[in-house]
Structure 1
Amino acid sequence: MADGTGHEVVVVGSANADLVVRVERRPGPGETVLGSDFDTHPGGKGANQAVAAALLGGRVALLGRVGDDGYGELLRDALALVGVDTRALLTTPAPTGVAFIAVGPDGENSIIVAPGANARLTPADVDPAFLAGARVVSLQTEIPVETVLAAARAATDAGVRTVLNLSPVPAASTALLGLCDVLVVNEHEAGLLLPGAARTPAALLALGPRAVVVTLGADGACVADETGETFVPAPPVEAVDTTGAGDAFTAALCLRLARGDGVVDAARFAVRVGAAAVRSPGAQASYPSAEDALPG
């Protein structure tokens, strides 16, 4: 595999096909509801973040796995279209990962992921030389935790900054938290990490990361590092679909960190990108480009 020299961000993560249905309300246990015709979009936290950062003008690569099927081709085409380097996107004889997404009238969503090929991404697939050429390595946990750990260790050993979007929250998170420079979680994920405790970014710092960003949906984000806590408000927008907005936020944060911003300034840019992403349906289809005017 060629090295990653020249990449601002290397994303190590998932690639899924998003199967999206719009519903009047999300079903409760044992309940069936009718929805719209479903749409199919390229998605997955890793692919979303790679596409979002590339659209913003970043030099980006994705390390992951897709299946040898139509969904895998859909994802490769979407990544290539925006210039993401896919040399480290491997093909495996398993189905491409799929996310089943129900979107309510308020734009909020519920998601079930069948990992497919993502679950076959192993520590042996992580090439330290590929990560060493990046300025920032972005990690999430829709791939096996041992693979995320291998990537975090390789990046740390190479002196590359790591951003960990701990979503979903795995049972074994302690080692990961001690390896990341910036931890990004939403309020629900923060609660899983700190059950029954104060769910503040400052409290999360005690778990090991050098900085913490807790995203607050339409309210913005809160950042904590050694200098204290800073609230970063999001510009008001009318939400149509929140799918993938957190990935757009994380991608924008990573790109600005790669370009030398501090965490707070990077978060100020990221909340505007995340706000732009909720204004239209879908994940990658909703992401702004470097030429687009951002809200706020």
Structure 2
Amino acid sequence: MERSLPAPPSRPTVVVVGSINVDQVISVERLPLPGETLIGSSLTLLPGGKGANQAVAAARRGAATLLIGAVGDDAHAAAALTVLTSSDVDVSRVDVVVAPTGLAVINVSVDAENTIVVVPGANGTVDDAAVERHADVLADAAVVVLQGEIPASGIERAARLAGGRILLNLAPVIRVDPAVLRAADPLVVNEHEGALALQQLRPDRPVPVDHAEIVDALRTEGIPSVIMTRGAAGVIVADGSGVHVLPSPRVDAVDTSGAGDAFVGALGASLATGASLVEAARDAVRVGAFAVTGVGTQSSYPSLEDELPSVPASAQADADAAANADADANADAERGEAAS
């Protein structure tokens, strides 16, 4: 560690341990073929990284938020931190190290397809030793938010030092100690990530295809609560109170990048106030829907003053009916297996 960035002192209720990147977005007519050179139409540098995105989302939803992470000693560091500081995220625990700031090179075609290459850079230094230096704020936080863009040892150390609730967004999916997965309350995954997380917990058994069955299996493996995000279809929330299907508001999407991070950050902010998991997820779904109506990631996240899109009562009724139908079908299948 070379030095730390100053910030006003605060007592955070949400501590995010995660990545900080600069996203280099290149617009192209189409994606290049292997070995092909194309001319891009524009180049934009935007702040990104799942840790930074989630910290901005939490802070904009009213949580006193602190970010633990690292940037490099290069020109990209200032760009990576711009929206964090303007959103009042405490960056005093962001280390400046002798390494490049994390970089994501993103090619985006006119039909919205993309290719992404991520160079972790300074994010690769956020290991167990780096996280250990921030044990005090981890112990005091109401919610500790973790993702998969830093070394596994950093995630595992943060989970062990957390004094409050652990919100683990296993994205991207990396292998972590099963005890960390079972400490997540909640574990937040999409369909693909949920299947891979379950595979880590029970490598010798087949993984279900049905989303609800994956969620149920993760709970059976000892995870206190699970949220599966499903894009425009909303989320499945499972905890001790049961399984809840929460639809997403219908909006005209402009840019879906970073919507999942908006959801996770907002979820952490609500949980830190004492909201139930279902209440927090219901608000976070609306935050994620708001985010896709703007361009970019952090700049599209709503504050408490912004009006969030709402979910029609009919949409919730339809989701409840579909969930009940699935439950009845699964129960019939189980009875059939027992009878045979």
TM-score (normalised: structure 2): 0.80
Displacement, 1:263? 0.8
* CA pair 261-32 structure 1, distance change in 2 beyond 3 A: farther
* CA pair 193-32 structure 1, distance change in 2 beyond 3 A: farther
Displacement, 1:74? 1.3
Is this contact kept in 2: 1:202–1:228, CA < 8 A? Answer: no
Is this contact kept in 2: 1:108–1:242, CA < 8 A? Answer: no
In 2: Cα distance, 1:223 partner to 1:19 partner: 34
Within the candidate set 219, 223, 226, 1:212 is matched to 226
2:320 counterpart residue number: none
2:23 counterpart residue number: 18
Stretches of structure 2 that go unaligned for 5 or more consecutive residues are 200-205, 311-340
Displacement, 1:209? 2.1
In 1: Cα distance, 2:232 partner to 2:112 partner: 11
Within the candidate set 130, 144, 167, 2:171 is matched to 167
> Can you list the C-alpha shifts for 1:236-269, whole angstroms capped at 9, x where unaligned?
1111111111000000100100011111111100
In 1: Cα distance, 2:11 partner to 2:111 partner: 41
1:130 counterpart residue number: 137
2:249 is aligned with 1:238: no
1:290 counterpart residue number: 304
* CA pair 110-206 structure 1, distance change in 2 beyond 3 A: farther
1:89 counterpart residue number: 94
With 174-183 and 78-87 compared, the bigger mean Cα shift is at: 174-183
With 268-277 and 104-113 compared, the bigger mean Cα shift is at: 104-113
2:187 is aligned with 1:177: no
2:207 is aligned with 1:197: yes
> Can you list the C-alpha shifts for 1:116-140, whole angstroms capped at 9, x where unaligned?
0000112122221111221100001
Within the candidate set 238, 243, 255, 1:224 is matched to 238
1:265 counterpart residue number: 279
Using CA pairs below 8 Å that are at least 6 residues apart, which structure has the higher relative contact order?
Answer: 1
1:139 counterpart residue number: 146
> Can you list the C-alpha shifts for 1:198-235, whole angstroms capped at 9, x where unaligned?
24321221333210000000111111112221101000
In 1: Cα distance, 2:40 partner to 2:255 partner: 15
2:81 is aligned with 1:76: yes
> Can you list the C-alpha shifts for 1:1-58, whole angstroms capped at 9, x where unaligned?
99x9731200000000011234565567677766541211001001001111111222
* CA pair 216-82 structure 1, distance change in 2 beyond 3 A: same
2:330 counterpart residue number: none
Letter in 1 for 2:146: L
Letter in 2 for 1:77: T
- Superposition pairs of residues 25-174 of structure 1, within 5 angstroms: 35-103=40-108, 110-126=115-131, 127-155=134-162, 158=163, 160-172=164-176, 174=178
In 2: Cα distance, 1:258 partner to 1:218 partner: 26
3-state SS of paired residue (1:38): strand
> Can you list the C-alpha shifts for 1:98-121, whole angstroms capped at 9, x where unaligned?
112344556565533210000011
Letter in 2 for 1:185: V
Stretches of structure 1 that go unaligned for 5 or more consecutive residues are none
3-state SS of paired residue (2:70): strand
With 20-29 and 216-225 compared, the bigger mean Cα shift is at: 20-29
> Can you list the C-alpha shifts for 1:66-120, whole angstroms capped at 9, x where unaligned?
0011111112232111111011100100000011234455656553321000001
In 2: Cα distance, 1:194 partner to 1:39 partner: 37
3-state SS of paired residue (1:294): coil
* CA pair 24-280 structure 1, distance change in 2 beyond 3 A: farther
Is this contact kept in 2: 1:107–1:240, CA < 8 A? Answer: no
3-state SS of paired residue (1:132): helix
Is this contact kept in 2: 1:107–1:239, CA < 8 A? Answer: no
Q: Percent identity?
A: 50
Which structure is higher in helix share? 2
* CA pair 229-25 structure 1, distance change in 2 beyond 3 A: farther
Is this contact kept in 2: 1:182–1:212, CA < 8 A? Answer: yes
RMSD, aligned CA: 2.2
> Can you list the C-alpha shifts for 1:262-292, whole angstroms capped at 9, x where unaligned?
1111110001000011112110111111111
Aligned residues: 292
In 2: Cα distance, 1:134 partner to 1:290 partner: 21
TM-score (normalised: structure 1): 0.91
